[in-house]
Structure formats: C-alpha cells, structure tokens
C-alpha cells in the first residue's frame, strides 16, 4: 500500500509541480515584459518625438553648437538621461554630465549612426547598474550628423520584478505544500480501503472466513469488499458441507474397519497354517491399521472444522509421558535402524494440558521423522524450560523439506510429495491442537539437511471454554 500511496502522491505532485512551474515562468516572463516593455515604449516614444522634431525643424547649423540647446529641450520631455553624440559616437552633451567627451560603441549607437533607430540593454561599466538605451539618428543638412540617445535605469523595475518573483516563489511553495497534504488525504481515501481489503483477504487466506471488511464507500472497492464477503460465505458453506460429509463417511468406515480388524486378528490367532494366507492376513491387518489411522485423522479434521475438538486438561509428569511415547515407537525405530534419543531438562517436572491430544502431536511429529529419515539416522526428542514456557523439539537428520514447500506443510491436505503415504492432515491437526493449548509450532528445515519442529507450550495452560469440549 505504501507503493500505491507513493505513486498517487508522486503523480499528483509531479502534475502540480509542472503546472506551478510553468505558470510561474509564464507569469514571470509576462511581468518582466510588461514592466520593461512599458519603459521601452515610453523611451522610444520620447526619443522618436525628439529626433523627429530636430530632423524637421533644426536641420541647419552645427550639431556641436546646438548640443546644449538640444539637451535642455529634450530633457524637458523625459525623465531619462539624454545624450547627444557626434558622427564618431563621441558624447558632446549629457544631461547628467557624467559621460561628457566619452566615446560610446554600443549596438544602439552603431544603429543610430548608420541611420536606423537602435536599442541596447546592459550594465553601466562604471556602476554595474542595469540600463536600457534608445538611440535615434540626428540629421543636419539631410545628412546623418550624430545621434540622440536616451538612457534609463532598470534597477527599480528589476527590484519590483524580483519582489514579484519572490512572492510567486513563496506562493508556489505554499501551493506545493498544500497539494502534498491534500494528495496524502486523497490517496488515503484509496489506500486505506485497499489496506483493509488486503488484511481481510489475508485473514481469509489463513482460514478465517468470519472476518468482515468495513465498507466505506459504495464504489469499486466497496463492490470488491462485498464480493470477498460473498466468497467467504460460500467457502464457509461448502466447508461445512465438506466437514459433514467427511464426518459421515468416517463414521461409516469405522464399523467395517473394526470388523475387518477383529476378524483378521481372530484368524491370525487361530490355526491358519498356510504361509501365504497368513502373510495375506498380516498385510490386511497392517492396511486396516493404516486406514483406521486415516479415518481418525479425518474425524479429527471434521471436529476441528466444526470447532468440536475434544480436550481433557490435566497436569502430568513430563519425563514419564515422553518416555512412554518414545518407548511406543522404539520397535519401529529399531526395525528402520534409526536411533532415538530423549533429553528433558531437570528444571521441569510437570506439564499442563491434554496428555492424549499432546501425545497425538508428538507421535505425529516422530512418525513424520521416521518416514523421512534413512537407515542409520538419528531422531532427537528434547524438552527444555524457557522463561514461562516449555520448548518441546523433535529433530531428525533425514531428507528435509524444500524451501518452496516449507510455508505450506501445515495446511490441510498439503503434501510436499503427492506420492507419499498419509492424508496431509497430520501437521494441520497438530497446529490446531497446539493453538488450543495456547502454544505455537515452528518448523525449520532444508532439503537434505533434516527437519526440526519446535513446539512452545505455556507451563500453566488456561484453556478457554469456547476452545474445548469435555467428554
């Protein structure tokens, strides 16, 4: 969501930044042209009128002799500095007296001496002051005898333009700040509903289909929330039907499996002497046990789905409980040539919880370890106290779990190897039982380097009434 907010705010900001920049540049150019243009027009008008007056009425005589008269006459019509230059560009009269006798070779003077009006903008060499000058040719006896030059300072105009530019700059920064705030608020109206939908979808993906996403607006995002709610309700309905079907089938399978198991044991304990028949009965007996275990897993799965898992909480000695579990699987470990080790910390004696359900968890973890550990391997079962919790670990040096499968192994019906035996419900059921006891389960593994499962259980478990049912 940070990415969407960043892109939204960034997009708004770029558009506003470009708009403000272009607007301020156009305003700055327009204001500069307005101020300088007015000064130029005023100067050109005064210079043109003065030069025209001279060229029409004062074309006889010497320019040098008339220079003082011309300066006094022309200065009355303008506030600009007035200069009279001879044909060589030398100042022969100046209303300020600063440039008397100096030769000026600027673009406006060159154009005027060539018989055309000229303009020049630049800085005074003496003061560095920005100025604008307009020059017009002066005629004597119909010949170009010199030039009239009007010079005005642009310092005051530049100062006004700079103040206006500073004001525009401050206004632009203020607009950008306000735009960022407004963009953040606007983007929040989009990103916050998306964030809530994402959180709700994550909850649904984790199996919590009762979560409801607040609908803030009746728009596309609101429709998406409604669609997710509808999807969750449909999944819950189908899940309920599936759980009922699984429970029904599992109960139906229990009776024939019990009969098969009973008759198989009866025949094996009888007087069957045919070797092949006895081997066949032993296979039937083993397969019946495997099917019975799968049916029990399916029944537990349906109970978990319906929230009716059965717990009998009590306090029991930890070492003796684990020792009995290890003893129960020791014969299978010997047949597979796998070493079992048990280590329990001296600081812990008792554990609170349902011993049968927790035994189901530990047996399932050891069973998985035996399935995927080769002959000569080692399986370690340990229990240590960590603060107010007990850390129960089952570790092997077997095949391990590939990294792409590891995040999903506790999901219902998930099997990293589809061809492997089992229903894929064992770890999912273990996780639920541990959660009901207020604990957590963490699986760490790498392909070819074994697997370690850490079960963390509180020393004193308080089971909520809505998390259990007594039998």
Q: For residue range 73-85, list pLDDT tens digits in order.
A: 888 888 888 989 9
Q: 104, 86 in Cβ contact below 8 A? A: no
The answer on pLDDT for 98 being more than 60 is yes
Q: What pLDDT, on a 0 to 100 scale, did the predictor assign at position 420?
A: 65
In tens, the pLDDT along 289-348 reads 777 777 777 777 666 666 666 678 899 999 999 999 999 999 999 999 999 999 998 778
Instruction: Grade residue 381 by pLDDT with cuts at 50, 70 and 90.
Output: very high
pLDDT of residue 250: 67
Most confident of 61-65, 262-266, 268-272: 262-266
What average pLDDT does range 351-366 have in this prediction? 90
Distance CA 52, CA 97 (A): 24
pLDDT at 218: 81
Non-local CB neighbours of 227 within 8 Å, separated by 6+ positions: none
Residue 383 has pLDDT above 50, yes or no: yes
58 pLDDT tier (thresholds 50, 70, 90)? low
Q: What is the distance between the alpha carbons of residues 151 and 101, in angstroms, rounded to a whole number?
A: 16
Least confident of 23-27, 152-156, 221-225, 269-273: 269-273
Can you give the three-state secondary structure of 191-239, one letter per residue?
HHHHHHHHHHHHHHHCCCCCCCCCCCCCCHHHHHHHHHHHHHHHHHHHH
pLDDT at 111: 92
- The answer to whether 39 and 152 are in contact (CB under 8 A) is yes
pLDDT value, residue 448? 84
Average pLDDT on 106-120 reads 91
Q: Find how far residue 287's CA is from the centre of its chain.
A: 52
**pLDDT reported for residue 446:** 86
Percent of the chain with pLDDT over 90: 20
Residue 119 pLDDT grade (very low, low, confident, very high; cuts 50, 70, 90): very high
Q: Which of 109, 152, 163 has the alpha carbon at shortest distance from 129?
A: 152
The pLDDT of residue 432 is above 90: no
Q: Is the pLDDT of residue 251 over 70?
A: no
Instruction: Specify the range with the lowest mean pLDDT, choosing from 78-82, 113-117, 163-167, 182-186.
Output: 182-186
Residue whose C-alpha is closest to residue 193's, from 1, 437, 387 = 1
* Phi, psi angle pair for 456, to nearest 5°: -105, 120
> 122 forms bridges with which residues in the sheet?
131
Residue 320 CB partners (closer than 8 Å, separation 6+)? none
Report pLDDT for 61.
Answer: 63
Q: What is the pLDDT of residue 320?
A: 92
- Residue 463 confidence (pLDDT) above 50: no
Q: Output 248 or 378, whichever has higher pLDDT.
A: 378
Per-residue pLDDT averaged across 57-82, rounded?
Answer: 79
For residue 394, list its beta bridge partners: 381, 453
Instruction: Delimit the domains of the chain by residue range.
Output: 2-159, 220-306, 314-467
Q: Residue 138 above 70 pLDDT?
A: yes
Q: What local confidence, expressed as pLDDT, does residue 378 receive?
A: 94
Q: What is the SS3 string spanning the chain?
A: CHHHHHHHHHHHHHHHHHHHHHHHHHHHHHHHHHHHHHHHHHHHHHHHHHHHHHHHHCCCCCHHHHHHHHHHHHHCCCCCEEEEEECCCEEEEECCCCCCCCECCCHHHHHHHCCCCEEEEEECCCCCCEEEEEEEEEEECCEEEEEEEEEEECHHHHHHHHHHHHHHHHHHHHHHHHHHHHHHHHHHHHHHHHHHHHHHHHHHHCCCCCCCCCCCCCCHHHHHHHHHHHHHHHHHHHHHHHHHHHHHHHHHHHHHHHHHHHHHHHHHCCCCCCHHHHHHHHHHHHHHHHHHHHHHHHHHHHHHHHCCCECCCEEEEHHHHHHHHHHHHHHHHHHCCCEEEEEECCCCCEEEECHHHHHHHHHHHHHHHHHCCCCCCEEEEEEEEECCEEEEEEEECCCCCCCCCHHHCCCCCCCCCCCCCCCCCHHHHHHHHHHHCCCEEEEEECCCCCEEEEEEEECCCCCCHHHCECC
Which pLDDT score, from 0 to 100, does residue 462 have? 42
Cα 79–Cα 82–Cα 85 angle in degrees, nearest 5: 170
pTM of this prediction exceeds 0.75: no
Q: What is the CATH number of domain 2-159?
A: 3.30.450.20
Confidence of residue 470 (pLDDT cuts 50, 70, 90): very low
Report the distance separating Cα 201 and Cα 206, nearest Å. Answer: 9
Task: Tell me the torsion sign for CA atoms 125, 127, 131, 134.
Answer: negative
CATH architecture assigned to 220-306: Orthogonal Bundle (1.10)
Q: Domain 314-467 maps to which CATH number in 3.30.2030.30, 3.30.565.10, 3.40.50.2300, 3.30.300.30?
A: 3.30.565.10
Over residues 122-134, the pLDDT tens digits come to 888 777 889 999 9
Average pLDDT (36-51) is 88
pLDDT tens digits, 221-232: 888 888 988 898
Share of the chain above pLDDT 70, in %: 89
Mean pLDDT score across all residues of the chain = 83
Residue 469 has pLDDT above 60, yes or no: no
- pLDDT at residue 468 above 50? no
- Better pLDDT: 393 or 65: 393
Alpha-carbon gap, residue 444 to 238, rounded angstroms: 33
Nearest to 68 by CA among 95, 88, 87: 95
The mean-pLDDT minimum among 13-22, 233-242, 305-314 falls in: 305-314
Q: What is the pLDDT of residues 196-212, one digit of tens each?
A: 888 888 888 877 888 88
Contact predicate 351/315, CB 8 Å: yes
- Closest to 250 measured CA to CA, from 41, 425, 394: 425
The residues near 30 (Cβ < 8 Å, ≥ 6 apart) are none
Burial class (CB within 10 angstroms; exposed 0-12, middle 13-18, buried 19+) of 70: buried
């Amino acid at each position: 969501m940070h990415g969407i907010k960043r892109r939204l705010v960034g997009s708004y900001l770029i558009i506003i930044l470009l708009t403000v920049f272009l607007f301020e540049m156009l305003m700055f150019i327009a204001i500069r042209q307005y101020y300088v243009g007015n000064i130029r027009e005023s100067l050109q008008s005064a210079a043109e009128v003065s030069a025209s007056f001279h060229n029409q009425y004062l074309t006889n005589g010497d320019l040098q002799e008339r220079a003082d008269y011309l300066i006094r006459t022309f200065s009355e019509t303008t506030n600009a500095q007035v200069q009279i230059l001879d044909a060589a560009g030398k100042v022969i009269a100046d209303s300020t007296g600063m440039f008397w006798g100096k030769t000026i070779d600027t673009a406006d003077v060159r154009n005027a001496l060539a018989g055309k009006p000229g303009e020049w903008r630049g800085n005074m060499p003496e003061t560095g002051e920005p100025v604008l000058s307009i020059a017009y040719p002066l005629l004597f006896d119909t010949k170009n005898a010199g030039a009239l030059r009007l010079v005005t300072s642009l310092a005051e105009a530049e100062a006004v333009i700079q103040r206006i530019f500073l004001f525009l700059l401050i206004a632009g920064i203020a607009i950008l700040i306000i735009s960022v705030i407004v963009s953040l608020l606007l983007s929040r109206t989009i990103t916050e509903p998306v964030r809530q939908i994402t959180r709700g979808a994550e909850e649904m993906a984790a199996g919590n289909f009762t979560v409801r996403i607040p609908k803030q607006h009746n728009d596309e995002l609101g429709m998406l929330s409604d669609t997710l709610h509808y999807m969750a309700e449909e999944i819950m309905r189908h899940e309920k039907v599936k759980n009922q079907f699984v429970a029904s089938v599992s109960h139906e399978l229990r009776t024939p499996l019990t009969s098969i198991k009973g008759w198989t044991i009866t025949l094996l304990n009888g007087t069957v002497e045919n070797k092949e028949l006895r081997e066949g009965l032993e296979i039937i007996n083993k397969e019946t046990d495997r099917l019975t275990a799968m049916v029990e897993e399916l029944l537990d799965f349906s109970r978990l789905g319906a929230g009716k898992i059965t717990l009998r909480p009590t306090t029991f000695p930890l070492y003796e409980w684990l020792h009995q579990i290890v003893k129960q699987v020791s014969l299978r470990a010997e047949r597979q040539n796998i070493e079992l080790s048990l280590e329990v910390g001296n600081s812990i004696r008792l554990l609170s919880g349902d011993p049968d359900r927790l035994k189901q968890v530990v047996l399932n973890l050891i069973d998985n370890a035996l399935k995927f550990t080769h002959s000569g391997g080692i399986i370690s079962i340990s229990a240590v106290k960590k603060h107010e919790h007990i850390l129960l670990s089952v570790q092997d040096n077997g095949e391990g779990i590939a990294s792409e499968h590891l995040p999903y192994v506790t999901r219902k019906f998930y099997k990293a190897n589809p061809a492997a035996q089992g229903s894929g419900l064992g770890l999912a059921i273990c996780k639920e039982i541990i959660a009901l006891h207020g604990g957590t389960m963490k699986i760490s593994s790498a392909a070819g380097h074994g697997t370690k499962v850490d079960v963390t259980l509180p020393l004193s478990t308080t089971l909520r009434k809505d998390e259990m049912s007594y039998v």
